[in-house]
Amino acid sequence: MLRALSSSIRSRPSELRVDGGASGNDFLMQLQADISSVEVVRPGILETTSRGAAFIAGIAAGIWHLDELPRLYRVERRFQPPRMDRSKREDLYRGWKEAVRRSMGWSGYGRP
């Protein structure tokens, strides 16, 4: 995702904001920061999808204004990259791409 985003905007993101259950895993978040070489930012509230829907409804109802929302975002932790050397990161990324390639047919996706 970061590679596609970087290509489309012709710039590298300075941070990756995460949410959801997996974002509560410190090891996984540090690994993401290490492999991507981008700072990973975890909010205080992990389940932000429903919060985002509530904000959209609040904006539509006139409860909030769009410019108020950034101050409501609270960072719980920042994971700084990289903590591992470049060759290790590249090996892990190659392994990840191979795992994705091998798993493409498991659920019926990726089949010809």
Q: Is the pLDDT of residue 98 over 80?
A: yes
Query: Is residue 110 pLDDT above 70, yes or no?
Result: no
15-17/39-43 β-pairing: parallel
Domain presence at residue 27: yes
Q: What is the pLDDT of residues 46-90, one digit of tens each?
A: 988 888 899 999 999 999 899 998 888 899 999 998 778 889 989
Domain-embedded: residue 104: no
Q: Across the chain, what does the average pLDDT equal? A: 88
Asked, for residue 89, whether it belongs to a domain, the answer is: no
Q: Which of 88, 85, 79, 93 is nearest to 26 (CA)?
A: 79
- For the chain, the first-to-last Cα distance in angstroms comes to 23
Residue 28: which H helix or E strand, with range? Answer: helix 26-36
Total domains in the fold of the chain = 1
Whether residue 53 lies inside any domain: the answer is: yes
Whether 105 maps to a domain, the answer reads no
Query: Cβ neighbours of residue 83 under 8 Å, at least 6 residues apart?
Result: 30, 33, 34
Residue 6 located in a structural domain = yes
Residue 46 lies in a domain: yes
C-alpha 87/C-alpha 66 separation (Å) is 43
Cα separation of 111 and 104, whole Å? 7
Q: Helix 86-103 crosses helix 26-36 at what angle (to 10 degrees)?
A: 110
Looking at residue 2, its pLDDT comes to 78
pLDDT of residue 79: 97
Residue 76 lies in domain: 2-83
